[in-house]
Structure 1
Amino acid sequence: MDKHSRKEQAIEFINNMAPELKNISRFLHTNPELGRQEYQAARLLTEAAARQGFALEKNISGYETAFIASKGIRGPKIAFLAEYDALPGLGHACGHNLIAAMSWGAAAAFAAVAAGQAVSYLIGCPAEETSGAKVAMAEAGIFDNLTAALIIHPASGNNVGGTSYATHPLQVTFHGRPAHVAGKTDKGVNALDALVMFYQGLKPLQQTFTRPTILGGIITKGGTAPNIIPAEAEARLTVRALSSDFLEETVLPAVRRLASGVAQATGTTVTAVHYEPLFKELINASHLMTLFQNNMAQLGETVTVLPPADAGGSTDVGNVSHRVPTLHPDIGIGGGLVAHTPEFAAAAGSDYAQERLLVGAKAMAMTAIDLLPE
């Protein structure tokens, strides 16, 4: 069977799956679960995969809600990455309910039409919004022998290309000595003063870097009472750059030097630890981008090609892309949307978005079919 015929079969297969895929998406949207707690989502997806004859591995890389579902024994190995964690207080304001359904639909359709000539994987990837299961999975080599990894993200329009920021969140804690704020003899050592000085130094520091860099943060601990000199003050920072090498070798050392200098100047001590792992920058494989564009065109969709340095947000898919050719485009679910907002959460549950997930599943399955041997 030629690839064109397989693609037609995949489209029909996904059309027949439409009620199931929409139900999965809507269930996840109605029952949002935070990272590492996505028990209902993982069960729903693994049960669906088992019904289609996929072999299952669970509890992957230390994540109870991570799984690998596979079907096939030889040929190209194509992974469709499912995300399904939600955001605190916002639910599925990043559209992971749609991602899970799209990836499952694509994996099932590809397995059905590959006819034993490929291996189709649905890889369940928890906690993308926090600790990023794909980081540990990549370090464990889970993606190393794949031909390609595919995932589509909901957005305000259809896009392909671009990148993401590498990020390695940092917690900075200054340690002083407590005292009564009106004490006559012991004035203590004010850790909050040190932290505020450090925080005020971040913006000037950011301006010294020769490449795009983001330094943002919040004060998470500033003291216990206004009449007690704070003995400990803490901030959590998001530290981002377009290159993980530049981030690790230039930006983060500079932030640590700033903290050490402030500590020395204020008589405090300081500790700095990473509270979440390194998310590397995303590398979109050019050959997969071309295939995706062509397949979206066959589905009647236009796609905007983003410049290579066009970055938005951060994702642990970046860590996958450093191991295997990866495609991470966007599919539009409504104009003017901004992720991580109530408006995006509402859009992700809309009837329109449920139709759009079918387009995404088809485009991914078709792109995988292009990777089959002639």
Structure 2
Amino acid sequence: MNADPHAVKRHLDKRISLVHNDAVSLSHRIHSNPEIGFEEEKASRWMSEALDGAGYTVESGICGLPTAFRASIGTGDLNIALLAEYDALPGMGHACGHNLIAATAFAAAAALAPFVDELGITLTVLGTPAEERLAAGGKLLMLERGGFDGIHAALMVHPTPFEVAAPQMIAASRLQVEMTGVAAHASAAPEQGRNAADALTVAQVALGLLRQHIGKEDRISGYTTHGGEAPNIIPARTTADYVLRSTNVAQLAELENRVKSCFEGGARATGCSHGFSGGGRNYAELRSDPVLAGLYRENAEALGRDFSHDPNMNGFLASSDVGNVSQVMPTIQPFIGLGTWPVVNHQPEFTAACATPIADSSVADGAQALAATIADAASQKSVRESLLGKTPALAEGRG
């Protein structure tokens, strides 16, 4: 492997230009046909077809997940993965810009395809469904089932309002709660009932008071998913769905215990019983690889991307199953800015922003920055050797 990264990178601009229209078309198709987690049949098929057309060998339905795929090209000893997300949010479409993530991964993969032998790499694109399905994200399940075995590094970009090379992504868990009381006629004999809606209300008041005493990077969010049957029946069953977040997995466990105490208190105060489900598969905090993040920033700045500190980034904390990937191999997920502030991810206005000329240009810039970063990592001896020395020792016997 004697690749000149500068020579390769000089050709990448032309390659990106050649595939940009196809990438934008892919982005807009996915955007116009939003599919929630584990139901991304069209997006997964369109991605697979596009990569097949770019010369990749594609395996669909890997790891027992019908909408996951693996596409690969090259035979080099250094195996680098581009990660693609393509799930949408219920009722809101692509309000997190996963259509752009998918299109950017495709464009970077297509641009690099002619150079994999020169770079001495195997380039893998992993289609990772259901990132928004916290506690059951595709990457987390694929890690458990061997989908990342043999990969030395994983890269992707994520659209947000801002440009950040190594964003802080915190740990998260999901907690589903069920309160069980006793039904009764709400007027004739309310004293015979035990109000499960009151149990949730008391718990939510306790959570509101708890927020004063948790860490500044802790987050508690959720909603009532079932509140009762009819206004003239004392609710005998209520349910809620919560997401808890903290700086890291260890602190998340402590927060979860405190939150559970609030629900336990609500049940006790109202004479109800309670139960918990969910959890067990937490999203870990992101450990951005500093070398890869530095290379990405250099390449993105060369394209005119501005990483000046934006004060609006303070407290801009999210979570992803890419954090779990980063616990076992060098990983980056830079933010690529769409300049939408104060519009942010998970707002309907952000859905609209992810199918605009600015979003389309982010696909080209993100793809070129990712592709150039991979070229640098493969060509710089110290980086390459470091990545080859960090092959993850993942568990065997996966399905």
TM-score of the superposition, structure 1-length normalised?
A: 0.93
State the secondary structure of the residue aligned to 1:314: coil
2:129 paired residue number: 126
1: CA distance between counterparts of 2:270 and 2:359? Answer: 54
- Deviation string, structure 1 residues 302-325 (Cα, Å, up to 9, x no partner): 224689996522211111111211
Task: State the 1:298 CA deviation.
Answer: 2.3
- Please state if 1:231 is matched with 2:236: yes
Aligned partner letter, 1:119: T
Q: In the TM superposition, what is the alpha-carbon distance from 1:144 to its structure 2 partner? A: 4.6
Residue 145 of structure 1: CA displacement? Answer: 3.2
Question: 1:259, CA displacement in angstroms?
Answer: 2.1
Q: Deviations over 1:280-321 (max 9, x none)?
A: 111111111110111112223222468999652221111111
Conservation of the 8 A alpha-carbon contact between 2:288 and 2:330: yes
Q: Which amino acid aligns with 1:259?
A: F
SS of aligned partner of 2:103: helix
CA RMSD of aligned residues (A): 2.2
Contact 1:77–1:148 (Cα < 8 Å) also in 2: yes
| Structure-2 separation of matches of 1:146 and 1:304 | 32
Q: Which amino acid aligns with 1:18?
A: H
Change (3 A) 1:281 1:302: same
User: In 1, Cα distance between the equivalents of 2:185 and 2:304?
Assistant: 70
Secondary structure of 1:61's aligned partner = helix
The 1:161/1:185 distance shift into structure 2, 3 A limit, reads: closer
The residue that corresponds to 1:57 in the other structure is: 59
Counterpart residue number, 1:303: 307
1:163 and 1:51, CA in 2 relative to 1: closer, same or farther beyond 3 A? same
Query: Is the Cα contact below 8 Å between 2:177 and 2:277 reproduced in 1?
Result: yes
Tell me whether 1:213 sits opposite 2:215 in the alignment. Answer: no
Q: Using the alignment, how far apart are the partners of 1:309 and 1:144 within structure 2?
A: 35
Deviations 1:91-119 (A, max 9, x none): 22211111111111112222321225101
CA contact (8 A) 2:217 2:315 kept: no
Moved more, 153-162 or 1-10: 153-162
Q: Secondary structure at the match of 2:378?
A: coil
Counterpart of 1:350? Answer: 356
Could you give the per-residue CA deviations for residues 160-187 of structure 1, whole angstroms, max 9, x where no partner exists?
A: 1221121111111111111112335952
- Bigger proportion of residues as strand: 1
Corresponding residue for residue 388 of structure 2: none
In structure 2, give the amino acid aligned to 1:281: E
The Cα of 1:206 is off from its aligned counterpart by 2.8
**CA separation of 1:264 and 1:156: change in aligned 2, threshold 3 A:** closer
Is this contact kept in 2: 1:213–1:241, CA < 8 A?
yes
Moved more, 278-287 or 87-96: 87-96
Measure, in 1, the Cα distance between the counterparts of 2:23 and 2:326.
26
Equivalent of residue 202 in structure 2, options 172, 186, 197: 197
Shift of 1:147: 2.2
Query: Could you tell me which of 141, 146, 149 is aligned with 2:151?
Result: 146
Equivalence for 1:166: 171
Q: Is the 8 Å Cα contact of residues 127 and 133 (structure 1) preserved in structure 2?
A: yes
| Structure 1 residue 127: Cα displacement | 1.2
CA distance in 1, matches of 2:23, 2:4: 27
Amino acid at match of 2:235: P
Q: Does 1:3 align with 2:5?
A: yes
Cα deviation digits, residues 222-249 of structure 1 (max 9, x gap): 211122111111111121111112112x
1:46 and 1:279 mapped to 2: Cα distance?
27
Correspondence for 1:294: 298
Map 1:23-38 onto structure 2 (within 5 A).
Answer: 23-38=25-40
| Counterpart in the other structure of 2:395 | none
Go from structure 1 to structure 2 and tell me whether the alpha carbon gap of 1:102 and 1:185 turns closer, same or farther (over 3 Å shift). closer
What SS does the corresponding residue of 2:293 show, helix, strand or coil? Answer: helix
Over 3 Å counting, the alpha-carbon distance change for 1:86 and 1:232 in structure 2 is same
* Contact 2:62–2:147 (Cα < 8 Å) also in 1: no
Deviation (angstroms), 1:275: 6.9
User: Which residues of structure 2 form unaligned runs of 5+?
Assistant: 382-399
1:372 equivalent to 2:374? Answer: no
Q: Percent of aligned pairs with the same residue?
A: 38
- Where does residue 114 of structure 1 map in the other structure? 116
How far has the Cα of 1:217 moved from its partner? 2.0
SS in 1 for 2:142: helix
Report the equivalent of 1:67.
Answer: 69
Q: Distance in 2 between matches of 1:153 and 1:146?
A: 20
Look up the equivalent residue of 2:294 and give its one-letter code: T
Between the aligned partners of 2:64 and 2:371, the Cα distance in structure 1 is 29
Letter in 1 for 2:121: A
Q: CA deviation at 1:196?
A: 0.7
SS at match of 2:269: helix
Distance 1:171 1:159, change over 3 A: same
How far 1:142 moved relative to its partner? 2.5
Partner-residue secondary structure (3-state), 2:71: strand
Following superposition, the deviation at residue 211 of structure 1 comes to 5.4
TM-superposition CA deviations, 1:18-37 (whole Å, max 9, x none): 12111111211222222212
TM-score by length of 2: 0.88
| Matching of residues 247-286 of structure 1 within 5 Å | 247-248=252-253, 250-274=254-278, 277-286=281-290
**Take 1:69 and 1:237, find their aligned partners in 2: how far apart are those partners?**
35
Pair 1:327-2:354 in alignment:
no
Q: Determine the structure 2 residue equivalent to 1:244.
A: 249
